[in-house]
Amino acid sequence: MKILILGDVMGRSGRLAVKKNLNKIIKENNIDFTVLNGENSADDGKGITNLIAEEFFQEGVDVITSGNHIWDKKETVEFIDKEQRLLRPENFAQGTPGNGHGIYLSKNDKKIGVINLMGNVFMKKTDDVFEIAKKMKNKIVLRKNVDFLIIDFHGEITSEKMAIGHFFDGVSTAIVGTHTHVPTADTRILENGTAYQTDIGMCGDYNSVIGMNKDNSLKKFLKDKNATNHFPAEGEGTLSGIIVDANDETGLAKKVTRILLGGNLIN
């Protein structure tokens, strides 16, 4: 079983990197299931539209995860309940539109669970992520309800991400961090068999400040009165994520490979 997980797609550059490379990666690597984080994929880097979500699905994405920017586009509240393949974090308050997890069928007819969580440290207020993680651990069980389980933990700090990684080690196929827009070099299989990377980075233009125009971003930091609202950098994007090769019997990872394709980052 081959699973592709891509980090935060940022604006037009990120979408173009996906459009240009996704089909090829899926074919060349025999990918059975693809997840990406789409919460920054709108033109201005804030939120996601129905049309963009549709484009991702047509390009081969199976599930889109998100985080703090999920409600940046008003229309998302309206279509998220109908679109089961778009997730918002599970630990948003009860009654929030949409779902934080789902069980899907892969191209090769396997049951794949996907859970989206959001960190508590330096993030918008949400329910305690470790409490919700405990509930989800009992609810979606490998080899019982699902064949494979993928978790996107959208968070700011490395310690919280690493802790949640160990919490799901051995009971999920892969757990990845998103949100910081910078890939970490700790791609590995944890000791009980779960593929892990603290942050799988951004699909977007790295000649920027986490995807935003660097000149304007610097002006903001320097308190220059000519600074405007942040807007995305639009140079060539890098595609950033991991491919997990998982064992069909156990649902655990056999191999994990980091991918960095195009743009400014060197693989």
How far is residue 213's CA from residue 203's CA, in Å, rounded to a whole number?
15
How far is residue 189's CA from residue 191's CA, in Å, rounded to a whole number?
6
Asked if residues 118 and 130 have their Cβ atoms less than 8 Å apart, the reply is no
Report in angstroms the alpha-carbon separations of 123 from 99, 155, 156, 179.
Answer: 19, 7, 7, 10
What does 61-86 look like in DSSP terms, one character per residue?
A: --EEE--TTTTSSTHHHHHTTT-TTB
Q: Which of 69, 154, 179, 181 is catalytic?
A: 69
Nearest approach, Cβ of 118 to Fe ion (angstroms)?
8
Region of 61-69, 94-102, 107-115, 125-133 interacting with Fe ion (CB under 5 A): 61-69
The letter for the amino acid at 187 is T
Check residue 179 for interaction with Fe ion (CB under 5 A).
yes
Region of 70-78, 142-150, 171-179, 191-199 interacting with Fe ion (CB under 5 A): 171-179
Nearest approach, Cβ of 68 to Fe ion (angstroms)?
5
**Chain CA centroid to CA 85, Å:** 13
Indicate the residue among 39 and 147 with the shorter CB distance to Fe ion: 39
Nearest approach, Cβ of 34 to Fe ion (angstroms)?
20
Asked if residues 71 and 40 have their Cβ atoms less than 8 Å apart, the reply is no
Nearest approach, Cβ of 95 to Fe ion (angstroms)?
22
Active site residue 69: yes
- State the binding string over 82-121 for Fe ion (x if CB under 5 A, else -): ----------------------------------------
How far is residue 71's CA from residue 74's CA, in Å, rounded to a whole number?
6
Task: Indicate which residues carry an active-site annotation.
Answer: 69
- For Fe ion, the binding residues (CB under 5 A) are 67-68, 179
